[in-house]
Amino acid sequence: MPHFFDQEGHTILKATIDKILPKTESPSATEVGVYKIIDTMVGTVYKPS
Amino acid sequence: MTVIKKNEVTYDAIVIGSGISGGYAAMELCTKGYKTLILERGRMVKRGEYPTANKDTWEFPNQNLLSQEEIEKHYSKQNGLSLWVYQDTKHWINKEDEYPYDEDKPFDWIRGYHVGGRSLMWGRHCYRWSDIDFGANAKEGIAIDWPIRYKDIEPWYDYVETFVGVSGQKEGLKQVPNGRFLPPFPLNCAEQHFSNQVATLPVAEKTVTICLFSVVSEIVYDKATGKAFGVKIIDAETREATKFFLRIVLNSRSEEFPNGLGNSNGELGHNLMDHHYGMGVSASVKGFEDAYYKGRKPLGFYIPRFTNIDEKTKRKEYFRGFGYQGTINRGQNHPEGVMGEELKQHIFKPDPYMLYMTCFGEILPYHENKTFLNFDKKDKNGMPIITFDAKLRENENGTTQGCGVKCGVEMLAAAGCEDIQSYNDLTSPGACIHEMGTARVGHNSKASVLNKWNQMHDVPNVFVTDGSFMTSLGTKPPSITYITLTARAVDYVHKQM
């Protein structure tokens, strides 16, 4: 269950993190679930401001 | 160890609080054959029951962080430095909404109510005080003289270090007398694992009685004998009041009686101190790129105070000085401005070695820095609320502070470090979790609460052996000196019986 980003937000988030850490002979950021950590951190740790 | 329900019983000795001093006192009393009661206001923590100690960061939610909402609700004062409260430590730290305190000036009071107290959380650096520390007040005409010198407690340092197990290297420095050391950890001076659960309480276990959720409300004074004859407690769960009767009290919570017991000269609660914690330096250390380390060392390195220790190092701008605690390690390698495949190549290699060191500055004992109880405001147990009124003053603000950073930067530059960064922030007292003073030892009853045996001038069967007995602060981490004077005080009591 997403905590912060909606579907469109997730699409942008995944594209962004894969620019930073693309798939090479090791997996990409999206493949190891970095977007889930970002979504949970933004949604549950930080306040809206 | 017997855990009892509250009853009206007579004990030879009552120890208030089960922190590092209380645990040591109970062990010494039990070893000498006294029927001993520990009153602990918090919950039981048994040896090995540390829910997070063996976990890694990735085993906690949100990379070990608490939500901002949770911090604001429960820990806003104690997390003033954003340093102490995490998923893996929050169960050792009180919720401020449940255990409130007041500040006339900002004070970061970081503590937890449970068996073992902060002996479960301490930094484990153990260095002996020297006569440079004990003699400083008298030499500089600040506050009052310590009633003891190094030779008075040297055998007691030997005694407790042998029990605790302190590792280190004998450097022969006049500001840090050599200890009874176990072999040092490679490269660094460090100290082995010691907490009340692992060390003192198991020794006391056969004979000690521990009474949990017992908030001490009063040491009951008997006018006829001039002695304390019992302790009144309030049950933190039922709010019921009970009395315990005794022959000796080892009181680790003296600040609970700011206008009462032992305070005939008005000194109780005054001279509150803590290390100034707002200075530090970091840098990258070149070389050793093909080497790595493994395991988790308990500690890093320590640089003892080097200013104002003799005529050669005398500074005219300030009294006393500062020491440093630090670590050197390799972190994650993610250089700025790099993306894509190139970033991944960096990430798979370790970062250069980074050095971090924090300065511990000595705050002088000022009568004006104080703590007191507000009897007009009560907590959920009906106990008056404690209020702190302490701040850094001229010696810390004007001069010592900047010098701690400047010396750190100069040292790292001279050692060939690169990318040297420093910070110099005004932190609140309390933040270093080395709060001391408020019931100091002294030569006479005019200006001190305790005599040189940690015995209350006013009430001879009450002894105070936690950090409140400290007459000045020094620059060293204090725990080993607390337990050294605790063991000495118990021996003194024993010889009087």
B62 → closest Cβ in A19, A20, A40: A40
Note the pLDDT of residue B193. Answer: 40
- What do you get for the CA distance between the two ends of chain A, in Å? 22
What are the structure tokens assigned to B41, written together?
Answer: 């206001």
Q: Which amino acid is at B232?
A: K
Mean pLDDT of all residues belonging to chain A:
94
Answer yes or no: do B344 and A47 touch at CB < 8 A: no
Sorting pLDDT into bands at 50, 70 and 90, what band is B205?
Answer: confident
What's the pLDDT tens digit per position in B456-495? 999 899 999 999 999 999 999 999 999 999 999 999 999 9
Compute how many other C-beta atoms are within 10 angstroms of the C-beta atom of residue B380: 12
Percent of chain B surpassing pLDDT 70: 91
Q: Is B53 within 8 Å of chain A by CB?
A: no
Which residues make Cβ contacts (< 8 Å) with residue B406, sequence separation at least 6? none
B209-211 and B241-251 beta bridge pairing: unpaired
Helix, strand counts (H, E) of chain A: 2, 0
What's the pLDDT tens digit per position in B195-204? 677 777 777 7
CB-CB neighbors (< 8 A) of B63 in chain A: 37, 41
Note the pLDDT of residue B17. Answer: 92
Torsion angles phi and psi, residue B228, rounded to 5: -80, 135
Q: Which amino acid is at A41?
A: M
CB-CB neighbors (< 8 A) of A40 in chain B: 61-62
Q: Is the pLDDT of residue B59 over 70?
A: yes
- The residue ranking higher by pLDDT, B191 or B448, is B448
Note the pLDDT of residue B7. Answer: 59
- DSSP characters over B310-328: SSTT--SS-SS-EEEEEEE
- Which is nearest to B105 in space by CA: B393, B452, B323? B393
Q: Is B340 within 8 Å of chain A by CB?
A: yes
How far B340 CA lies from chain A's nearest CA (Å)?
Answer: 5
What's the pLDDT tens digit per position in B410-462? 999 998 899 999 998 878 899 999 999 999 999 999 999 999 999 999 989 99
Answer yes or no: do B69 and A19 touch at CB < 8 A: no
Note the pLDDT of residue B255. Answer: 45
Note the pLDDT of residue B194. Answer: 57
Q: Is the pLDDT of residue B265 over 60?
A: yes
Q: How many CA atoms lie within 13 A of B395 on its CB side?
A: 17
Prediction ipTM score: 0.91
- Which is nearest to B458 in space by CA: B226, B223, B303, B230? B226
> Is B204 in contact with B36 (CB distance < 8 Å)?
yes
Best-predicted range by mean pLDDT (B8-12, B35-39, B286-290):
B35-39
Note the pLDDT of residue A16. Answer: 97
To probe the interface with A, which of B57, B58, B62 has the most A CB atoms within 10 Å? B62
Q: Provide Rg for chain A, Cα atoms.
A: 11
C-alpha B465/C-alpha B230 separation (Å) is 18
Answer yes or no: do A47 and B69 touch at CB < 8 A: yes
Q: Is B339 within 8 Å of chain A by CB?
A: yes
Alpha carbon separation from B29 to B204, B248, B253, B399 (Å, rounded):
8, 10, 18, 45
Note the pLDDT of residue B94. Answer: 93
A-chain residue closest to B72, CA distance: A47
- Say whether B226 sits in a helix, a strand or coil: coil
Q: Is the pLDDT of residue B376 over 50?
A: yes
Answer yes or no: do B344 and A24 touch at CB < 8 A: yes
What are the structure tokens assigned to B446, written together?
Answer: 């005019």
Q: Is B67 within 8 Å of chain A by CB?
A: yes
> Is B48 in contact with B197 (CB distance < 8 Å)?
yes
Average pLDDT of the segment spanning B248-265: 62
- Which is nearest to B262 in space by CA: B460, B463, B471, B459? B459
> Is B208 in contact with B3 (CB distance < 8 Å)?
no
Q: Is the pLDDT of residue B6 over 80?
A: no
C-alpha B258/C-alpha B270 separation (Å) is 9
Answer yes or no: do B68 and A47 touch at CB < 8 A: yes
- DSSP characters over B65-112: PPPHHHHHHH-TTTTTTS-S--TTTGGGS--TTTS--EESS-------
Average pLDDT of the segment spanning B313-339: 89
- Which is nearest to B388 in space by CA: B327, B459, B446, B437? B437
Task: Quote the crossing angle between the two packed helices B340-347 and A7-20, to the nearest 10°.
Answer: 70
What's the pLDDT tens digit per position in B214-253? 888 888 888 888 888 888 888 888 877 666 666 555 544 4
Mean pLDDT of all residues belonging to chain B:
87
B-chain residue closest to A24, CA distance: B341
Put the strands of the sheet holding B322-330 in their side by side order. Answer: B301-303, B322-330, B353-361, B276-285, B418-424
Average pLDDT of the segment spanning B246-270: 68
Torsion angles phi and psi, residue B230, rounded to 5: -175, 175
- Which is nearest to B466 in space by CA: B444, B495, B437, B491? B437
A-chain residue closest to B70, CA distance: A45
Which residues make Cβ contacts (< 8 Å) with residue B4, sequence separation at least 6? B209, B210, B211
Note the pLDDT of residue B121. Answer: 84
Q: How many CB pairs under 8 A join A and B?
A: 31
Note the pLDDT of residue B441. Answer: 97
What are the structure tokens assigned to B442, written together?
Answer: 């002294």
Average pLDDT of the segment spanning B337-342: 94
Note the pLDDT of residue B239. Answer: 75
Note the pLDDT of residue B150. Answer: 97
Average pLDDT of the segment spanning B134-162: 97
Average pLDDT of the segment spanning B141-165: 96
What are the structure tokens assigned to B228, written together?
Answer: 């304390």
Note the pLDDT of residue B370. Answer: 95
- What do you get for the CA distance between the two ends of chain B, in Å? 25
């607390």: which residue's tokens?
B482
> Is B235 in contact with B214 (CB distance < 8 Å)?
yes
What's the pLDDT tens digit per position in B25-43? 999 999 999 999 999 999 9
Phi-psi region of B139 (alpha: psi -120 to 50; beta: other; left: phi over 0): alpha
- Which is nearest to B144 in space by CA: B481, B469, B442? B442
Answer yes or no: do B339 and A24 touch at CB < 8 A: no
DSSP one-letter code for B290: T
Sorting pLDDT into bands at 50, 70 and 90, what band is B190?
Answer: very low
What's the pLDDT tens digit per position in B393-403? 988 876 666 88
CB-CB neighbors (< 8 A) of B343 in chain A: 20-21
- Say whether B281 sits in a helix, a strand or coil: strand
Phi-psi region of B494 (alpha: psi -120 to 50; beta: other; left: phi over 0): alpha
Note the pLDDT of residue B206. Answer: 67
- Say whether B248 sits in a helix, a strand or coil: strand
CB-CB neighbors (< 8 A) of B65 in chain A: 41, 45
Answer yes or no: do B344 and A26 touch at CB < 8 A: yes
How far A47 CA lies from chain B's nearest CA (Å)?
Answer: 6
- Say whether B195 sits in a helix, a strand or coil: coil
